[in-house]
Amino acid sequence: MSKRDYYEILILTRSASKAEIKAAYRKAAMQHHPDRNPGNAEAEAKFKEASEAYEVLTDDRKRQIYDQYGHAGLQGQGYQGPQDAQDIFESFGSIFEDFFGFGGGGGGKGRGRRGADLRYDLELTFKEAVFGVSKEIEYQRHVACSPCKGSGAAPGSKRTTCSTCGGAGQVRRSQGFFSVASPCSDCRGEGSYLVNPCKVCSGNGVTLETKKLSVKIPAGVDGGVKLRVSEEGEEGAGGGSRGDLYVVLHVAESERFSREEWDIVMREPISFVQAALGCECTVETLEGETLISIPAGVPFGHRILIPGAGIPHLRGVGRGDLYVELDIQVPKKLSKEQRELLEQFADLSGDKVKKHGSGFFQKIFE
């Protein structure tokens, strides 16, 4: 029986990329997986057919020959394609592991496990978040036990190879068309076990240490930002890499300053006389004293812009702006002279105000 076109099998155009070929093969392999179609000889045949097409089309040399000369060109080079399930697994072990969660033919010791990630919550002041700061933190993590060098075995002793899996860390069982590998239950996938465990770490291979670390906080961060410090987390097992440390930032609220995206808003109290007549005054910003000019007749909440004095952009150049928001203060107590002058002002303005025997205000503004 003549073979079908490889591109037709995977439903691809002849210009398909390797990523497209892999995606098409995954779809076909999942659809015709013999374990999903037990006893279905047609499904097995289609699975093998798709695997053969994938092997050829992802190999640049084989694909070039196939595109020029077809199946005959490959046969002339001695290529016969995978003959059985073991052939397929040996050719595509890694892709089967991605698709179905188990590997291809041939044994192998269990892989090292990556260590767990850790979290550290760090409090910052408003100013530290705006301008950045270096902070020294202290936390606990597990590290390789020094006496046993992380093996878990007492000094002078060794781990014993597991007789069940022969040190592979996996046992295999047949499931129809496939040979499925699973972690060995006796050694828990390690490939070996302890006879004489280390007394310091009780055979765990790790001990707890207190770690001090300097963390650089970039300018412009906000609350909730997570900073990742690579490989400063827990020790990995079986030679696996360390986990990471995530520093979660919390920014304390300021009584005077607030954040609006990349802008800073600061409240500045002024008297109602300054608001009415206008003035120049010095305000204390996060970066020191700055002179601002207040125009006459400004209303409560009026904002004065100081460009480029806001929060630095985390990604990019430049900063936001600073807004000085005016908080007009009304005095609660007045001297006799102040009351008399304000009453005269009210009379000249035609304002109706409450006066009491001596002529003072019960309330300046309603």
Give per-residue pLDDT as tens, 21-47: 988 888 888 888 766 777 788 888 888
CATH number at residue 68: 1.10.287.110
Verify that 210 and 301 share a domain, yes or no: no
81 conformational bin, left if phi > 0, alpha if psi -120 to 50, beta if neither: left
Average pLDDT of the segment spanning 125-148: 94
Verify that 28 and 10 share a domain, yes or no: yes
Average pLDDT of the segment spanning 247-268: 95
Helix (H, G, I), strand (E, B) or coil at 246: strand
Which pLDDT belongs to residue 172?
A: 77
CATH number at residue 300: 2.60.260.20
Residue 361 lies in a domain: no
User: Shortest CA distance to 227 belongs to which of 255, 254, 250, 246?
Assistant: 246
Verify that 111 and 228 share a domain, yes or no: yes
pTM: 0.58
Give the chain's mean pLDDT: 83
Grade residue 246 by pLDDT with cuts at 50, 70 and 90.
very high
Residue 134 lies in a domain: yes
pLDDT higher than threshold 80 for residue 97: no
The alpha carbon dihedral of 51, 93, 182, 207 has a sign of negative
Residue 137 lies in a domain: yes
pLDDT higher than threshold 90 for residue 133: yes
Residue 128 lies in a domain: yes
Verify that 117 and 217 share a domain, yes or no: yes
pLDDT higher than threshold 70 for residue 103: no
Residue 59 lies in a domain: yes
Verify that 136 and 231 share a domain, yes or no: yes
Verify that 96 and 134 share a domain, yes or no: no
Of residues 2 and 194, the one with the higher pLDDT is 194
Which pLDDT belongs to residue 230?
A: 92
DSSP secondary structure string for all residues of 171-237: EEEEETTEEEEEE-TTTTTSSEE-SSB-TTTTTSSEEEEEEEEEEEEPTT--TT-EEEETT-SPPPB
Verify that 94 and 134 share a domain, yes or no: no
CB count in 10 Å sphere of residue 90:
12
Residue with tokens 């077809």: 70
User: Shortest CA distance to 84 belongs to which of 56, 52, 43?
Assistant: 52
What is the percent of the chain where pLDDT is above 90? 39
Which pLDDT belongs to residue 113?
A: 75
Q: What total number of domains does the chain contain?
A: 3
Verify that 94 and 112 share a domain, yes or no: no
Grade residue 347 by pLDDT with cuts at 50, 70 and 90.
confident
Residue 321 lies in a domain: yes
- For 219-231, letters b (16+ CB in 10 Å) and e give ebbeeebebebee
267 conformational bin, left if phi > 0, alpha if psi -120 to 50, beta if neither: beta
Report which secondary-structure segment, H or E, holds 6.
Answer: helix 6-9
Provide the domain limits for residue 62. 6-100
Verify that 261 and 301 share a domain, yes or no: yes
DSSP secondary structure string for all residues of 95-146: HHHHHHS---SS--PPPPBPPPPEEEEEEE-HHHHHH-EEEEEEEEEEEE-T
Verify that 127 and 213 share a domain, yes or no: yes
